[in-house]
C-alpha cells in the first residue's frame, strides 16, 4: 500500500510514465468509457442469457428430482401392492391347498369307505355263499335220502304186496272213481 504522503509523487510519477508511454488522461477516460460500454453490452448480451440458461437448468434438475421422487413413490406403492398381491396369493394358495387337502381327504375317505364296503360285501357274499352251499348240500342230502327211501319202498312194496292187497287196491280205486263220477 502506498502511503498518503507519497500520493502526489505517485500521481506525478504515473503522469510522467503515461507521458512517456504517450497515454493521455483523455485517452484513459475514453478507454474507461469504452470499458463501461463493453461491460454493459456484455452484461446485456452474455450474462443475462447465461443466467437464464442456468436458471432453466436449475429448474430442469429440480423437475428431474421431483420426478425421481415421484418414481420412488410409485415404486414404493408398487412394492406395497405387489406384497399385498403376494400375500393374497399366498392366502389363496393356502385356501386352495386346504380345499385340495380336504377334497383329497374326502376322496381318500371315499376310497377307504368303498374298499371297506367292498371288503364287507365280499365277506357277506362269501358267508352267503357258504350258507347257500350248506343249504344246497342239505337239500341234496334230503333228495338223496328221499330217493333212496322211495327205492327201498318200491322194492319192499313190489315184493311184499300180496294178491289180496292188490285186489283190494284195484277194487278201492274202481269204487273211488265210480263214486267220484256219479257223485
Nearer to other proteins, 67 or 129 (CB): 129
Using the rule CB under 8 A, is 115 a contact of other proteins?
A: no
Using the rule CB under 8 A, is 150 a contact of other proteins?
A: yes
Using the rule CB under 8 A, is 123 a contact of other proteins?
A: no
| Cα three-residue angle 136-142-148, rounded to 5 degrees | 135
Using the rule CB under 8 A, is 134 a contact of other proteins?
A: yes
Q: Alpha-carbon distance 122 to 173, whole Å? A: 57
Nearer to other proteins, 49 or 132 (CB): 132
DSSP 62-79: HHHHHHHHHHHHHHHHHH
Q: Alpha-carbon distance 63 to 136, whole Å? A: 104
> What's the Cα-to-Cα distance from 53 to each of 45, 66, 152, rounded to whole Å?
13, 20, 141
Segment 54 to 93, residues that bind other proteins, using CB under 8 A: none
Q: Which residues bind other proteins (CB under 8 A)?
A: 103, 125, 128-129, 131-139, 141-143, 145-147, 149-150, 153-154, 157-158, 161, 163, 165-167, 169-174, 176-178
Amino acid at each position: 500500500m502506498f502511503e498518503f504522503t507519497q500520493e502526489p509523487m505517485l500521481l506525478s510519477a504515473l503522469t510522467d510514465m503515461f507521458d512517456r508511454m504517450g497515454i493521455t488522461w483523455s485517452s484513459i477516460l475514453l478507454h474507461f468509457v469504452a470499458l463501461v460500454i463493453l461491460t454493459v453490452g456484455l452484461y446485456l448480451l452474455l450474462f443475462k442469457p447465461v443466467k437464464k440458461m442456468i436458471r432453466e437448468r436449475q429448474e430442469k434438475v429440480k423437475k428431474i428430482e421431483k420426478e425421481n421422487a415421484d418414481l420412488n413413490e410409485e415404486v414404493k406403492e408398487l412394492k406395497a401392492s405387489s406384497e399385498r398381491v403376494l400375500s393374497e396369493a399366498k392366502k389363496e394358495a393356502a385356501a386352495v391347498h386346504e380345499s385340495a387337502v380336504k377334497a383329497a381327504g374326502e376322496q381318500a375317505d371315499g376310497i377307504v369307505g368303498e374298499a371297506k364296503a367292498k371288503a364287507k360285501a365280499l365277506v357277506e357274499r362269501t358267508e352267503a355263499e357258504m350258507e347257500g352251499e350248506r343249504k344246497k348240500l342239505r337239500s341234496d342230502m334230503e333228495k338223496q335220502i328221499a330217493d333212496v327211501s322211495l327205492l327201498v319202498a318200491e322194492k319192499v312194496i313190489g315184493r311184499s304186496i300180496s294178491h289180496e292187497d292188490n285186489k283190494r287196491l284195484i277194487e278201492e280205486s274202481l269204487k273211488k272213481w265210480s263214486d267220484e263220477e256219479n257223485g
